[in-house]
Amino acid sequence: METLSSLCTSQALMSGPSCSAIFCTSGSVSFTGFSLKTQAFSKKKHTLSFVKASVAVEQQTQEAKVALIRIGTRGSPLALAQAHETRDKLMASHSDLAEEGAIQIVIIKTTGDKIQSQPLADIGGKGLFTKEIDEALINGDIDIAVHSMKDVPTYLPEKTILPCNLPREDVRDAFISLSAASLADLPAGSVIGTASLRRKSQILHRYPSLSVEENFRGNVQTRLRKLNEGVVKATLLALAGLKRLNMTENVTSILPLDDMLPAVAQGAIGIACRSNDDKMVNYLASLNHEETRLAVACERAFLETLDGSCRTPIAGYARKDENGDCIFKGLVASPDGTRVLETSRKGPYAFDDMIAMGMDAGKELLSQAGPGFFDR
């Protein structure tokens, strides 16, 4: 994020070259972005107006004090919005954290942030957006780490735990286009921009006449700018991120869950700390949203059973129904979208039962898929 260099003071977190960080005093973050009016949709060409995201850091009027909590996060506008949401909830829940300077935010650049020229599936490995933050946590350079849960591998690094999920946002995907009201309205041969194999496979399964540009990466603002420049005809973004950035005016339409099942843990924020840090565990306990935590655990059990990665199109969603039971839906697909396998489960909304449901659903789809399924 270009504006950060003038607003934050650099602070070395790690001795090695693999981790770079920027320290920000606590303040406010404001995001302005594109404007796309879609309520009265017409076929004439629309334009997106773009204003770069900015971070406004309040000037400190008193001597800097030692922070009680240092929050580690990526530096994208969405990651910062999530870190500030975490900070605000901590300040509201604990009077000792409401004092000026009690909470500080440390921005850490991850492997996924550094390598923008390749599709995620080609970079390989797990933890592309979490590894350096986890290292800073383990080394004691930060006290808690705020993650988008869909970026977190199904295993956690030693000496860390993830005891807290904030209330989940809308899990659906948003369709954004300057020339069409929906995927169905796009002409044959139209190019959709998405770095997600999950989205690609489900798009091509329903609309095989469309084409997908996989190396369509960058933060929300970058992807909308590329759309505005005509690089692609449309893109899909997580509605949760657009809501957290107050950028829902860009949404052309929202995809039903039956048309586009979300990524595992989409819309959920997770907060990690060191396993031996009882003070942070107690702070985070006051923020945890148990319904979200259980749903995420069910979905991640499904993903872990499938041994999913960026190379495997996998979707999963657990929710509580009107009777208080858990409804889980899972999906695996071949990357080209020619085969899509789905399953569902229903059971008690309780941790052990939901873990068992996720695992059982994963085993079923593994059996159905057979060897070589993900190589298509």
Which residues form the catalytic set?
151
Buried b (16+ CB within 10 A) or exposed e, 313-342: bbbbbbbeeeeeebbbbbbbbbbebeebbe
User: What strands lie across the sheet with 325-333, from one edge to the other?
Assistant: 314-320, 325-333, 340-348
**Coarse DSSP helix, strand, coil percentages of the chain, rounded to the nearest 5 percent:** 30, 25, 45
Alpha-carbon torsion 268, 171, 236, 30, what sign? Answer: negative
Tokens of 128: 């592309």
Q: For 100, which DSSP code?
A: T
CA angle centred on 189, ends 186 and 191, rounded to 5° = 75
Buried b (16+ CB within 10 A) or exposed e, 23-61: bbbbeebebbbbebebeeeeeeebebebeebebebeeee
User: Contact 224/33 with Cβ under 8 angstroms?
Assistant: yes
What is each CA distance from 344 to 317, 358, 359, 368, in whole angstroms? 10, 9, 12, 14
- Residue the block writes with tokens 């000496």: 159
User: DSSP states of 240-299 as a string?
Assistant: HHHHHTT-GGG-SEE--TTTSPPPTTTT-EEEEEETT-HHHHHHHHTT--HHHHHHHHHH
- Please give the distance of CA 308 from its chain centroid, rounded to a whole number: 16
CA 322 – CA 320 distance, rounded (Å): 7
